[in-house]
Amino acid sequence: MAPQTVLCIGMAGSGKTTFMQRLNSHLHSKKQVPYVINLDPAVLKIPFGANIDIRDSIKYKKVMENYNLGPNGAIVTSLNLFSTKIDQVIQIVEKKSSQYEKVIVDTPGQIECFIWSASGAIITEAFASSFPTVIAYIVDTPRNTSPTTFMSNMLYACSILYKTKLPMIIVFNKTDVTKADFAKEWMTDFESFQAALREQEANETDGSGYMNSLVNSMSLMLEEFYSQLDIVGVSSFTGEGFDEFLDAVDNKVTEYNEYYMAERERILKEKAEKEKKRKEKSLNSMMKDMGLDEAKKDEVDVISDTESIEEGENDGLVLRDEDEGIEADREYTFPEDRQSGEINDRSSEALQQRYQDAYEQTAKSASSQTAENIARYINQTQ
């Protein structure tokens, strides 16, 4: 059975790494040891043991020095280098699939470096194609009590959902500081969000009416988006809510198997058909460049003339005379003593004498030739 894969994605400061630590320890306490992967090349220390760590194969500071890059550019380049070996990572995880039920993956805090880069898409696609994969989007709850900030975060989550096309769980972290009840209410009750937005507009003397109108319109648009999500409030500090999170993961894995897998298979089939059409177009262009018209295409594609011969016609194989009912009248021209093709007591002495005569004739000829060469050499040197 393929292990469940959880990709932990979140903005810098959302408590994503601490969430990974708590999730890891919580699974250990339930005797469900996870397979842990760290994909953040810039982190100095991680508070959990990683089975696969990008820092073991790629040195972040060396990448900065060698390629003259800044922090974000070095992260993207490190992910690019790591993505070239992602097939080996998948093979390792597959070999360990009988020992682990879950794979949890920590990603860089610079969220755009992972989500919007080509390497991030390759890594995500590799996991999603091999295992039931779920996105856990970590949100800093205390910093999202403002309706406008909350809406900005939800728009980012919406873009990630449609970029990855994978089941998503919105994880409101740090509930020990601020409860996530207000966020759950805003996502399920449109009128409560409208009331919070009006209250904010009344308290802000320098607020923009256009901004509030925009947020109001976007909240209506995101109602359908909210219906596709599971919402969980957790505290990485106290461990509260992690049982609920694991239930949400199981729910999303079922959703992945029922809907997302079929969608992904459809997308892969479309890609294969597009690739087939591209190859056919390339072949037609090549034939055109070579001066071959469409009428000669069949002639070019035929490997052997025997393939186009209809049944019952001569297929290029010649039957023996006996098979065609013809009596063969063959006449041999070998001497009578050689027609049998064998050496017997009667012929062995004569054969031996012929060998001896031929040998003596050859030796005599060679000796005569050698004598002539020596005489010629002596005459030239005198």
pLDDT tens sequence across 59-90: 999 999 999 999 999 999 999 999 999 999 99
Mean pLDDT of 246-260: 90
Per cent of the chain over pLDDT 90 is 45
d(CA 17, CA 9): 10
Could you tell me the two tokens for 95?
């070999």
Coil, strand, or helix at residue 25?
Answer: helix
Say if CB 32 and CB 72 are below 8 A apart. Answer: no
Residue 174 confidence (pLDDT): 95
pLDDT tens sequence across 127-137: 998 899 999 99
Residue 270 confidence (pLDDT): 86
Whether 346 is in a domain gets the answer no
Backbone φ/ψ region at 129: left (φ over 0), alpha (ψ -120 to 50), beta:
alpha
The crossing angle, in degrees rounded to 10, of helices 86-95 and 118-130 is 20
Mean pLDDT of 209-238: 83
Least confident stretch, 157-171, 175-189, 333-347: 333-347
Say if CB 38 and CB 46 are below 8 A apart. Answer: yes
Whether 172 is in a domain gets the answer yes
State the pLDDT confidence band at 271, using cuts at 50, 70 and 90: confident
Residue 302 confidence (pLDDT): 42
Which contiguous run of DSSP H or E holds residue 38?
strand 35-38
Q: What is the pTM of this model?
A: 0.69
Mean of the per-residue pLDDT values for the chain? 81
Residue 322 pLDDT exceeds 60: no
Residue 213 confidence (pLDDT): 77
Mean pLDDT of 174-197: 90
Residue 219 pLDDT exceeds 60: yes
Whether 34 is in a domain gets the answer yes
Q: Which of 20, 66, 24 minimizes the C-alpha distance to 43?
A: 20
State the pLDDT confidence band at 182, using cuts at 50, 70 and 90: very high
Residue with token string 């062995």: 348
pLDDT tens sequence across 86-130: 999 999 999 998 899 999 999 998 888 899 999 999 999 999 988
d(CA 36, CA 17): 12
Residue 216 pLDDT exceeds 90: no
Residue 10 confidence (pLDDT): 92
Q: How far is CA 375 from CA 22, 57, 366, 367, 372, in A?
A: 105, 81, 14, 13, 5
Whether 47 is in a domain gets the answer yes
CATH code, 111: 3.40.50.300
Residue 183 pLDDT exceeds 70: yes
Q: Which one has a higher pLDDT value, 333 or 178?
A: 178
Q: Which one has a higher pLDDT value, 370 or 135?
A: 135
Whether 186 is in a domain gets the answer no
- The number of distinct structural domains making up the chain is 1
Per cent of the chain over pLDDT 70 is 75
Q: Which of 149, 171, 188, 141 minimizes the C-alpha distance to 231?
A: 171
The domain of 128 spans: 4-180+229-256
Q: Which of 232, 249, 229 minimizes the C-alpha distance to 104?
A: 249
State the pLDDT confidence band at 259, using cuts at 50, 70 and 90: confident
Could you tell me the two tokens for 106?
């920590």
Count of beta carbons in the 10 Å neighbourhood of residue 269: 10
DSSP state of 290: T
Residue 148 pLDDT exceeds 80: yes
Q: Which one has a higher pLDDT value, 308 or 22?
A: 22
Whether 154 is in a domain gets the answer yes
Could you tell me the two tokens for 134?
């779920």
Residue 309 confidence (pLDDT): 45
Please give the single-letter amino acid code of residue 187.
Answer: M
Distant-in-sequence contacts of 64-71, Cβ < 8 A, 24+ apart: 71/42, 71/110
Please give the single-letter amino acid code of residue 355.
Answer: Y
pLDDT tens sequence across 324-352: 555 544 444 444 444 444 444 455 556 56
DSSP string, 148-196: HHHHHHHHHHHHHHHHHTS-EEEEEE-TTTS-SHHHHHHHH-HHHHHHH
Whether 211 is in a domain gets the answer no
Whether 306 is in a domain gets the answer no
State the pLDDT confidence band at 377, using cuts at 50, 70 and 90: low
Which contiguous run of DSSP H or E holds residue 251?
helix 242-255
